[in-house]
């Protein structure tokens, strides 16, 4: 595994498109100055991936911040998502996101949630996927993917698809992750994207995490981002304004890979996982 990463590191998706490996998630940020400033500061810090969704109600602000950034559109990768209440009007929902973002095209459009608990939804999910394929064919979106899909949802999609999902965005941090699903996605060429990589700040004080952080002169958040990157995942923490430079620094602001912590013997994934398992706090 190539452990050297900088903030410009890119994953190559199964359609050949490059996608930055570290991005900013904007869930729960209010439309307006809050989102615009966060996106602007993130872009200034070197982030080039912004993860939004129709559900977050801040696509307009994301688009405004990207357009006013002075950075060329093609250098910035913008994700948004289709919420299940729009499964019956996919094209209209997509057009709405496209208009609110006002960036000409969307880089990655994800089915936000499979609604797998409703029986009979499989045919609806397949129809939705087929519409996403048409949007892709029209070049309105550069890659299409899914989120919160398990192996059976992916199998079901692939059984009828002409274009396989490029990405599966799932919850992934040392406390919550599905190793089999990660391996399955990666074996099918589907990039894994980690949401809630910072445990929504709930486990940043876990003794194993704080010990590793202290040993390496890093913050707990940096350790968790690094952990997800070492799983080969694309990572999208919510990174509040004051903390954006910290995550950016983790990945090296420019070309210099600074992640020497990864070379230290007690920072391997297996060691971290074992330590977490032994800990009384993990269940």
Residues in contact with 219: Cβ distance below 8 Å, sequence separation at least 6, in sequence order: 213, 246
Q: Is 51 in the site for ligand NAP (CB under 6 A)?
A: yes
| Contact (Cβ atoms closer than 8 angstroms) between residue 20 and residue 49 | yes
Q: Cα 233 to the chain's mean position, in Å? A: 8
> For residue 50, which phi and psi values (nearest 5 degrees)?
-125, 130
Of the candidate residues 169, 216, 229, 251, the single one contacting ligand NAP (CB under 6 A): 169
Q: Is 65 in the site for ligand NAP (CB under 6 A)?
A: no
> How far is the C-alpha of 19 from the C-alpha of 107, rounded, in Å?
9
Footprint on residues 215-234 left by ligand NAP (CB under 6 A): 219, 221
Residue nearest to ligand NAP (CB): 25
Which of 56, 109, 136, 195 is labelled catalytic? 56
* 56 in catalytic set: yes
Q: Is 101 in the site for ligand NAP (CB under 6 A)?
A: no
Q: Is 243 in the site for ligand NAP (CB under 6 A)?
A: yes
Q: Is 198 in the site for ligand NAP (CB under 6 A)?
A: yes
Residues in contact with 50: Cβ distance below 8 Å, sequence separation at least 6, in sequence order: 23, 24, 26, 39, 42, 62, 66, 76, 77, 78, 79
Q: Smallest gap, in angstroms, from Cβ of residue 106 to ligand NAP?
A: 15
Which residues in this chain contact ligand NAP in the complex, by CB under 6 A? 25-27, 51, 112, 147-148, 169, 195-201, 204, 219, 221, 236-240, 243, 246-247
Catalytic residues: 56
């Amino acid at each position: 595994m190539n452990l050297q990463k900088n903030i410009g590191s890119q994953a190559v998706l199964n359609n050949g498109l490059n996608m930055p490996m570290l991005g900013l998630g904007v869930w729960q940020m209010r439309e307006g100055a809050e989102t615009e400033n966060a996106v602007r500061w993130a872009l200034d810090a070197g982030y080039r991936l912004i993860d939004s969704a129709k559900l977050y109600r801040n696509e307009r602000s994301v688009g405004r911040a990207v357009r006013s950034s002075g950075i060329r559109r093609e250098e910035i990768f913008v994700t948004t998502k289709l919420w299940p209440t729009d499964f019956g009007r996919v094209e209209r929902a997509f057009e709405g996101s496209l208009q609110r973002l006002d960036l000409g095209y969307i880089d990655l459009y994800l089915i936000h949630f499979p609604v797998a608990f409703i029986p009979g939804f499989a045919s609806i999910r397949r129809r939705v996927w087929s519409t996403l394929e048409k949007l892709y064919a029209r070049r309105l979106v550069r890659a299409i993917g899914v989120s919160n899909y398990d192996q059976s949802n992916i199998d079901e999609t692939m059984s009828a698809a002409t274009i396989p999902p490029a990405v599966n965005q799932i919850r992934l941090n040392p406390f919550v992750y599905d190793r089999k699903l990660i391996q399955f996605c990666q074996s099918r060429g589907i990039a894994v994207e980690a949401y809630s990589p910072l445990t929504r700040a709930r486990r940043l004080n876990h003794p194993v995490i704080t010990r590793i952080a202290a040993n390496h002169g890093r913050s707990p958040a940096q350790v968790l981002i690094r952990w997800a990157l070492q799983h080969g995942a694309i990572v999208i923490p919510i990174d509040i304004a004051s903390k954006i430079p910290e995550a950016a620094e983790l990945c090296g602001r420019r070309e210099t890979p600074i992640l020497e912590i990864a070379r230290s013997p007690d920072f391997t994934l297996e060691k971290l996982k074992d330590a977490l398992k032994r800990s009384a706090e993990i269940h």
